[in-house]
Amino acid sequence: MTLHRIAPNFYKLTVPNDSFTTVITRIEALAPKRYALSVHAGVSLPHGSLKNTVDPGFAVTADLAVRLNQTFTAEALYGRHRFNGKASSPDVDVSQMSLGLKAFLNAGRVRPFITAGGGSYRFDPGSTDPGAHAGVGVEFNASLRLAFDAEYTGHTVFSGSTKTFFSSLQGGGRVRF
């Protein structure tokens, strides 16, 4: 028997005719990277009384995520939601800074998830108020470093005694490092 190394982790094994040999292999599992950056874009949809003054608009969100374990990921998010004003109403821009927790419902290449969190929402024109978000989505892992996902998120902003509702439907990509 002769063994020739062709490249790192690649070998050519030659066994004479009418002979045999035993080969033992070892496979090491590769874990996904712990940190990730992602960018998502899509549409922002007004609900409730907000729907009376603005039309749907553009949404973009970026986040830094930390994988806590196979199921949970913590996220720091920054989002911009632009709503187009109706008639004489002005356009409304909403900046969102929040922290969230994402729970994946299974392991594998296609992973449905739920997410929730809270933070600060700044309306322009308007005020800055606390708010919360919750959503559902699905992530497709193209590799250990790259994933794509789609997510629907509902937002509730608490402005004194009133609440403002809107949602977003976004798709994007995630790079793990």
Q: Indicate the domain borders of the chain.
A: 35-176
Whole-number pLDDT of residue 1: 79
Tokens found for residue 132: 């919360």
Whole-number pLDDT of residue 31: 80
Residue 10 has pLDDT above 90, yes or no: no
| pLDDT, tens digit (0-9, with 9 covering 90-100), for 122-162 | 999 999 999 999 999 999 999 999 999 999 999 999 998 89
Domain 35-176 CATH (choose: 1.10.10.10, 3.90.230.10, 2.40.160.20, 2.30.42.10): 2.40.160.20
- pLDDT band at 35; cut points 50, 70, 90: very high
Whole-number pLDDT of residue 3: 85
Residue 99 has pLDDT above 90, yes or no: yes
Report in angstroms the alpha-carbon separations of 97 from 30, 44, 81, 133.
33, 16, 12, 11
Say how far apart CA 159 and CA 15 lie, in whole Å: 77
Q: Which phi and psi angles does 85 have, rounded to 5°?
A: -65, 145
Residue 11 has pLDDT above 90, yes or no: no
Sign of CA dihedral 34, 37, 41, 46: positive
139 secondary structure, DSSP code: E
What does pTM read for this prediction? 0.84
| pLDDT, tens digit (0-9, with 9 covering 90-100), for 38-64 | 999 999 999 999 999 999 999 999 999
Contact by Cβ (8 Å): 23, 12: no
| pLDDT, tens digit (0-9, with 9 covering 90-100), for 19-33 | 888 888 888 888 889
Secondary structure tally for the chain: helices H, strands E: 0, 11
How far separated are the first and last CA of the chain, in Å rounded? Answer: 42
Say how far apart CA 138 and CA 70 lie, in whole Å: 15
Say how far apart CA 107 and CA 128 lie, in whole Å: 38
